[in-house]
Structure 1
Amino acid sequence: MERVDVLVVGAGLGGLSASMFLALEGVNVLTVERHPGTSLHPRASGQTPRTMELYRFAGIDQKVLGVSERASRGLRITVASSLNGTVFHRIVDDLDEFDLSAATAAPWGMAGQDVVEPILLERAREAGAQVRFSTELVSFSQDDDGVTAVLRSRDSGEETSVRASYLVAADGGRGRIREALGIGTSGVGTISRSIGIVFDADLGDRLLPGVTDLFYLQGPEFTGALVNTDIPGRYVCSVDVPEGVDALPEERLVQLIRAATDLPDLEPKIQWTGMWEMAARIADRFAAGRVFLVGDAAKVTPPTGGMGGNTAVGDGHDIAWKLAAVLRGDAGPGLLDSYEAERKPIAEMVVNTSLHNAKERLVPDLDLTGLAEPVDQVALTLGFRYRSGAVLAEDDDVVENPVEPSGRPGFRAPHVPVGTGSTWDFLGHSWVLFSPGGWRDAVSQVRAETGIALEYQEIDDPLFRGRFGLGDGGATLVRPDGIVAWRCPDGAADPAGTLWDVLARVLSR
């Protein structure tokens, strides 16, 4: 029987992110995917600055930017009857409207899932992860010490057994692991069914050149969306279809593309088609024993807003660094309880906000009675807050304006220029204690006693003090994911003892 630390089922954005970050932490991880390769569809396009921060931790941020030059050239989002028809609403006219350079050193990205997944795969394998395609999970069981899984090669039919300490379920919204665990879902459910069409054509001046140009279409013949891709002359069109329709003849697809583009003589070359469902569901639990749900296995959200894939990457990173800490012995198993406590509220805000976007952009008659109000996109991207046992919070605020950071525990560590770089240059690979001064010896002592990767950064600058909320002798402890775990604004009588106690609490030691 093969033995690994972590088995990841599913190699989409969530699964590959988890695999990559686990491998970078030195964890023996095996990932299996039932499909023969990574996604061929440029769905889940776009990376928020938060996702780019995580990609920078892995050293792939520049590669992701490199496969999508549109990231630096602009973004336009329009609600219209067709590409050359009536414009009902222009949601975004330029990416500069989302300038977050005051809050982060990371840019926006615009790459599609089809070009990002190979980058994640390559980095995961470089770091030592095993990734096997055309391999499916047949069954699994868990006990107090681990998970036993039966895998099957879809090419040969051969079955093998794997024993893992933990299982990460990244098998998508239709995956079977969540159901096998008896975990239900709640939410609006299915909203509509669509057929996605990837096609090549010359659309002339219908779309802006060199930028991401997304149209939500509410036309007389159909409701859907159309967007350009990273491949010149290639586009993705999505068209709503009635219940029971699983395919459309190519002639009808061509008619719909012509109606969407207002080009009645267009001869598109269709490269791919596939059915998909717009839905909103959140798992009742994100974990059961030694199994953790990430990405669409944990939540399914409408694509309106581009937050589904970004949330999957965040899930993968969050569970990865926590599993690595427990497997190394840096943390107790209680740290893993913080995964659901932190990621489920994010999923709820993402789904709610995406539903409001869907009503505005695609489904005007969508009934959102009783649904929570949407969260500002900027606050949801960089101003979110974690609340769990892995954070020693000071108050109950849920979000904040990231351009005016408070430095409070649970929020992202503030971005403060340091020389030619940023405070974020020190993050992503260890715990970091920031202070204007007075904690160097304490950090050295605690690091020696615990063996935990803990670094010290002394910055005595007015802007740093203000954004981190620190006075003389104050200190801030930042987690490996860039989240403030604890803050001591005015210093401590026993710095080493205080720091040791704080780490014991947030790491469940």
Structure 2
Amino acid sequence: MTERVPVLIAGGGVAGLTAALLLQQQGVATVLVEKHASTSPQPKARRFNQRSNEVFRALGLDDAVAEASAPLASFNGMLTGTTLADAQWPEVTEAMRAGFAKHATMSDHSPAPSVLCPQDVLEPVLRNAAEARGVSVRFATELVSFTQDETGVTAELRPAGREPYRLEAEYLIAADGSRSPIREALGIPRSGYGRLADNLDIAFRADLTELVRDKRFNLCTIENPAASGAFASINGTDRWLFSTSDFPGSATLDDRGWRELLRTVVGVPDLDVEVLGRMPWESGMHVADRFAEGRVFLAGDAAHAMPPMAAAGANTAIADAHNLAWKLAAVLRGTASAALLDTYHLERYPIAYATAEFSSLVSGHLGTMVKSVTSGEGPRFDPSAAMFGVQYDEGAFVPDGRGPAPVDHYGPAGRPGTRVPHAWLDGAGAPGVSTVDLAGPGFVLLTGPDDRRWAEDAEALGLRLVRIGDPLWLAEVELGDDGALLLRPDAVVAWHSSSGLGLRDALARVLGPVEVNV
């Protein structure tokens, strides 16, 4: 008998594992397959921003992520030098001071931190949580082919060393990487700047504890005749990464040759060093022209490959999963029409394209990205607006006529299509609860202290209602005492009571013409 599940996920990286956890939280049975036998052995992405950690917080994984990221908690800033031994902090320019000042305010806008947590450390945390919570996680299992029709997707899966078998799913999430065989099979083209640079990452083990004791860095740019590039901290003691351009002759170096080169660029001739792995990779911008085709949805690098600017690709992947999971769950429950799934591409494609384009302006090689920051010559932007104030142009929300959110400063003001502004709530039933925490797993109605006009409709529609009495937050989101916001499960505002459309009609417009029981 052919196995059938609501959702099949192909890919066991950050995108796939996050999607699996979010779907499980929504009560959707999911099978995740990954052709490799384990999670990534490479550090890859390391900087997981506050929006990503809000997702982990919503999943109850904030403590686990904090523990995993603890070794690098004090590793901040960027060095530059001819070797790691002689590298120094750059001179602080006025542009850098202005940037520091802007970044210092970002903690005011989120209940979650930004953390350094290498991908090879984070992914096991996500995998362990998925398995513990009942997700069917099948590593060493490759999706070799699939077909789809109006009723679902049929996939052929091949476990390592075993006979292939078929699995039927109502929907398929392709989180299978930048070379996505699923995207290729669908014939979805990609756009963008294309290839920008060839890179080579060398993961190595060497005890550099004393060398970096007084200069605990995130990244360190190296300009050296032997090889130029950047060091990245992996655990702050004995695991490091050196990222360089794929220079002529690099392919012929054996481990002994790499050990000698690493001793040179570290600046310690007798360094005891072990090469753990070499990973050539292309830095480039490749964004799929469609994030969905029928019952198949692209997420993460399968949808948008981009240069490694502050792990933009991985953070965008987590946002993809956050956007898609609740929509799939609502359609599978029958509380939303299938048209809701069309809003995944409408909302995520413009954001992913803009993020990839921005990353491409400053980052081909890792060292190039570091220099753009330390020189103060990178593109100017407001980090809080870019992180917390982004607004979807169209999608699963009801515009209220106020126009777009500002991009030169943080000020979303509770506009539909933006993430709800953060404020700590003293009276929400538990200490340390943020307005962002109130989102999910269903829709939530946030009201001012006078909720009499909303209580009956909220009960009839199955909406959880939360009264907010904080006058500063109410002013920030432009709500009177008797106003209300409708909050999606991904913490995005779906409706503002100033829109002129009633709550019942607004929810119907967001979810589509179905029997509403959120």
Under a length normalisation based on structure 1, what TM-score does the superposition of the two structures give?
A: 0.89
Residues 1:361 and 1:242: Cα distance change in structure 2 (over 3 Å): closer
Q: Output the CA distance in 2 between the equivalents of 1:227 and 1:486.
A: 43
| 1:174 positional shift | 1.2
Runs of at least 5 residues in structure 2 that lack an aligned partner in the other structure: 372-377, 514-518
C-alpha contact (below 8 Å) 1:247/1:275 kept by paired residues: no
Runs of at least 5 residues in structure 1 that lack an aligned partner in the other structure: 367-371
Residues 1:360 and 1:11: Cα distance change in structure 2 (over 3 Å): closer
Partner residue in 2 for 1:268? 273
C-alpha contact (below 8 Å) 2:48/2:114 kept by paired residues: yes
Q: Output the CA distance in 2 between the equivalents of 1:378 and 1:226.
A: 27
Q: Output the CA distance in 1 between the equivalents of 2:341 and 2:252.
A: 43
Q: Output the CA distance in 1 between the equivalents of 2:48 and 2:310.
A: 11
Partner AA of 1:462 in structure 2: P
Q: Output the CA distance in 2 between the equivalents of 1:189 and 1:440.
A: 55
1:166 paired residue among 160, 163, 171: 171
| 1:39 positional shift | 1.3
2:415 paired residue among 408, 414, 421: 408
Partner residue in 2 for 1:424? 436
Residues 1:223 and 1:355: Cα distance change in structure 2 (over 3 Å): farther
Residues 1:442 and 1:123: Cα distance change in structure 2 (over 3 Å): same
Q: Output the CA distance in 2 between the equivalents of 1:280 and 1:119.
A: 29
| 1:197 positional shift | 1.6
C-alpha contact (below 8 Å) 2:229/2:245 kept by paired residues: yes
1:503 paired residue among 479, 485, 507: 507
Partner AA of 2:493 in structure 1: V
1:486 paired residue among 491, 495, 504: 495
C-alpha contact (below 8 Å) 1:471/1:489 kept by paired residues: no
Partner residue in 1 for 2:320? 315
Residues 1:460 and 1:378: Cα distance change in structure 2 (over 3 Å): closer
2:32 aligns to what SS in structure 1?
strand
Residues 1:399 and 1:5: Cα distance change in structure 2 (over 3 Å): farther
Partner residue in 2 for 1:62? 63
Encode CA deviations 1:428-465: one digit per residue, 9 max, x unaligned.
322111111444564444443x4x5x211112332122
Q: Output the CA distance in 2 between the equivalents of 1:429 and 1:196.
A: 39
Residues 1:474 and 1:445: Cα distance change in structure 2 (over 3 Å): closer
Q: Output the CA distance in 2 between the equivalents of 1:245 and 1:325.
A: 51
2:268 is aligned with 1:298: no
For residues 27-42 of structure 1, the aligned pairs below 5 Å read 27-42=28-43
Residues 1:399 and 1:301: Cα distance change in structure 2 (over 3 Å): farther
Q: Output the CA distance in 2 between the equivalents of 1:406 and 1:207.
A: 43
Partner residue in 1 for 2:397? 391
Residues 1:271 and 1:373: Cα distance change in structure 2 (over 3 Å): closer
Q: Output the CA distance in 2 between the equivalents of 1:209 and 1:63.
A: 28
Mean Cα deviation higher: 183-192 or 200-209: 200-209
C-alpha contact (below 8 Å) 1:227/1:236 kept by paired residues: yes
Partner AA of 2:306 in structure 1: T
2:77 aligns to what SS in structure 1?
strand
Residues 1:209 and 1:460: Cα distance change in structure 2 (over 3 Å): same
Mean Cα deviation higher: 247-256 or 327-336: 247-256
C-alpha contact (below 8 Å) 1:389/1:505 kept by paired residues: no
Q: Output the CA distance in 2 between the equivalents of 1:71 and 1:504.
A: 46
Residues 1:282 and 1:229: Cα distance change in structure 2 (over 3 Å): same
C-alpha contact (below 8 Å) 1:436/1:459 kept by paired residues: yes
Partner residue in 2 for 1:22? 23
2:235 is aligned with 1:230: yes
2:139 paired residue among 133, 136, 139: 133
2:114 is aligned with 1:113: no
Partner residue in 1 for 2:259? 254
1:475 paired residue among 481, 484, 487: 484
| 1:222 positional shift | 2.5
C-alpha contact (below 8 Å) 1:79/1:361 kept by paired residues: no
Mean Cα deviation higher: 322-331 or 394-403: 394-403
Q: Output the CA distance in 1 between the equivalents of 2:9 and 2:249.
A: 33
Between the two proteins, the alignment pairs up a number of residues equal to 494
Residues 1:9 and 1:22: Cα distance change in structure 2 (over 3 Å): same
| 1:67 positional shift | 1.2
Q: Output the CA distance in 2 between the equivalents of 1:165 and 1:32.
A: 16
2:422 aligns to what SS in structure 1?
coil
Encode CA deviations 1:269-300: one digit per residue, 9 max, x unaligned.
11222222212111111111110000000011
C-alpha contact (below 8 Å) 1:80/1:89 kept by paired residues: no
Q: Output the CA distance in 2 between the equivalents of 1:467 and 1:207.
A: 43
Partner AA of 1:485 in structure 2: A
C-alpha contact (below 8 Å) 1:334/1:508 kept by paired residues: yes
